[in-house]
Amino acid sequence: MNENFKLDIKQRPRRLRRSEAMLELCAETRVEASDLILPVFLKEGKSGAEKITSMPGVARHTIDSLLRLCESALNSGIRAIAPFPQVPTRLKSPNADEALNEKSLANRAISAVKRRFPEMLVAADIALDPYTSHGHDGILAPDGASILNDETVEVLSGMALMAARAGADIVAPSDMMDGRIGAIRAALDECDFQNTAIMAYSAKYASAFYGPFRDAIGSAPAQGKGGKKKYLDKRGYQLNPSNAREALREVLLDEQEGADIVMVKPAGPYLDIISKVKESTNLPVAAYQVSGEYAMIRAAADKGWIDLNRARNESLVAIKRAGADIILTYFAQDYIKNTRLG
């Protein structure tokens, strides 16, 4: 090798990659605590947190342990949570009657958080799957083969009102029924909740990545052969993973009906959709890094196959880089803790 050999070039992009400090200085995308919403799971009782086997590092919380979690989250800089209840089987019904109980687990948790930590934003999930005995996000038609759209929207509107009365800052319809954003906005406004925001799950895909979440909330699966678990087919209302233009149509409709924030779910497998949605709307764009995304990263890291911190950080930066203004992620606290440690 000729030691005197030098390329005669002026542009050397690697100058900006020479050190950790230079990399940070020139970073185009940053994920901050203020970008994150922490999804949390709820359960009845006073026994504290309970581990979720399919989601290592994530737990179901009773209301008392939820308050401790909120205190920890606020201390780390995270100022928003999205609670999801595990509804006892005895309270589930075909028509999701418990969803309209002002003293439901979810509503009691929202009230408790807002009393103790009024500065914590709470985004209430508005969907019926935790409350239905069949596990679908809506009311089944008499033949059991389809979801009744308008009847479901009526229940969702009442559920959103209950959450607003409990103190929710944001209601987040995740059901994918037609017309539900307009109906919920009208119901909120009529009852003087004009300041309650709507974060619409506008592009929620019929994804295979929701399995651990359904375990966490105890959503009823369909039973396969030999007792093997087989998750419900929700393609009759959630989006076809093959479709992109359909997502933009849904976003436009939700914007017209009064959504304040639109969302893409899942996040990682749908970075192209996040980017397209970002270009199509002036509303804030949220993306949900779902349970299956989280579980895959954790499982591979636990096996020693990938570096947990780097894979976690890269996945979140990719979502932000694609165009998400807001990210719902189970990694929220770990991400802030470990990035602060360098």
- Residue 320 sits in a domain whose CATH number is 3.20.20.70
Tell me if residue 265 is catalytic: yes
> Are 309 and 301 within 8 A, CB to CB?
no
The rounded radius of gyration (Å) of the Cα atoms in the chain is: 21
Which candidate in 43, 92, 234, 265 is catalytic?
Answer: 265
> Are 112 and 61 within 8 A, CB to CB?
no
pLDDT exceeds 50 at position 266:
yes
Q: Give mean pLDDT, residues 259-275.
A: 98
* pLDDT the model gives residue 334: 94
Tell me if residue 225 is catalytic: no
Q: Is 127 part of a structural domain of the chain?
A: yes
* pLDDT the model gives residue 144: 82
Percent of the chain at pLDDT exceeding 70:
96
Summarize pLDDT for 81-129 with one digit per residue, the tens: 999 999 999 999 999 999 999 999 999 999 999 999 999 999 999 999 9
**Closest Cα to residue 203, out of 255, 152, 238, 157?**
238
Q: Is 15 part of a structural domain of the chain?
A: no
Sign of torsion over alpha carbons 319, 171, 251, 240: positive
* pLDDT the model gives residue 222: 57
* pLDDT the model gives residue 229: 62
Q: Is 5 part of a structural domain of the chain?
A: no
Q: Is 18 part of a structural domain of the chain?
A: no
Q: Where do the DSSP E strands lie in 52-196?
A: 59-61, 80-85, 121-126, 139-140, 147-148, 170-173
Matching residue, tokens 């109906």: 183
* pLDDT the model gives residue 2: 81
Q: Is 52 part of a structural domain of the chain?
A: yes
Structural domain boundaries enclosing 159: 31-340
C-alpha to C-alpha distance for 144 and 148, rounded to whole angstroms: 10
Q: Is 6 part of a structural domain of the chain?
A: no
DSSP state of 145: S
pLDDT exceeds 80 at position 226:
no
Q: Is 131 part of a structural domain of the chain?
A: yes
Summarize pLDDT for 12-64 with one digit per residue, the tens: 999 999 999 999 999 999 999 999 999 999 999 987 899 999 999 999 999 99
Q: Give mean pLDDT, residues 143-160.
A: 94
Q: Is 138 part of a structural domain of the chain?
A: yes
Which candidate in 43, 92, 204, 278 is catalytic?
Answer: 204
C-alpha to C-alpha distance for 117 and 217, rounded to whole angstroms: 24
Domain count, the chain: 1
Instruction: Give the rounded distance of the alpha carbon of 152 from its chain centre.
Output: 21
